[in-house]
Amino acid sequence: MNPRKFLIPALLAALVATGCVSLGGGSGGDDNTTSAVSGRGGPKVSDSEITAGIKDAFKQDPELAAANIAITVDKGVVSLSGNTPNVQAYNRAGSLARNVPGVRPPVNVSNLQYPR
């Protein structure tokens, strides 16, 4: 009998069990906070903190600071809407929003427009 035959399923079972425990059962509460690392532990970040972080990131970019972009955050999921001056600013807006602590993928930019 080959011992490797049992090793792989045992390792997979251990990984699954560890993953389930680390994800936690959830509190069932609706406190509009999310983990800074996509639900895998770490400090909690509120939707208002995420919004403030995105606004701060946009203020550091001259084109995005002048753009008319509305930011909506619901349980860590970000939606951007409004107008950017060009496609490069559009791409930066999505990228900057994704990099703010607490943001859960995906960042919805479908309502963000740029001149064509």
- Please state, for a pLDDT cut of 90, what percent of the chain lies above it: 60
Cα–Cα distance for residue pair 75/111, rounded to 1 Å: 19
pLDDT, tens digit (0-9, with 9 covering 90-100), for 4-25: 566 666 656 665 555 544 444 4
Q: Do residues 92 and 61 make contact, with C-beta atoms less than 8 angstroms apart?
A: yes
Tokens of 3: 């011992």
- pLDDT mean over 34-63: 82
Cα–Cα distance for residue pair 92/17, rounded to 1 Å: 38
Backbone angles phi and psi of 44, in degrees to 5: -80, 140
* Whether pLDDT at 64 is above 70: yes
**3-class state of residue 71 by DSSP:** strand
Q: Indicate yes or no: pTM above 0.85.
A: no
- Please state, for a pLDDT cut of 70, what percent of the chain lies above it: 64
Q: Find the DSSP H helices in 1-116.
A: 4-23, 47-59, 62-66, 87-98
Minimum mean pLDDT range among 38-42, 57-61, 67-71, 110-114 = 38-42
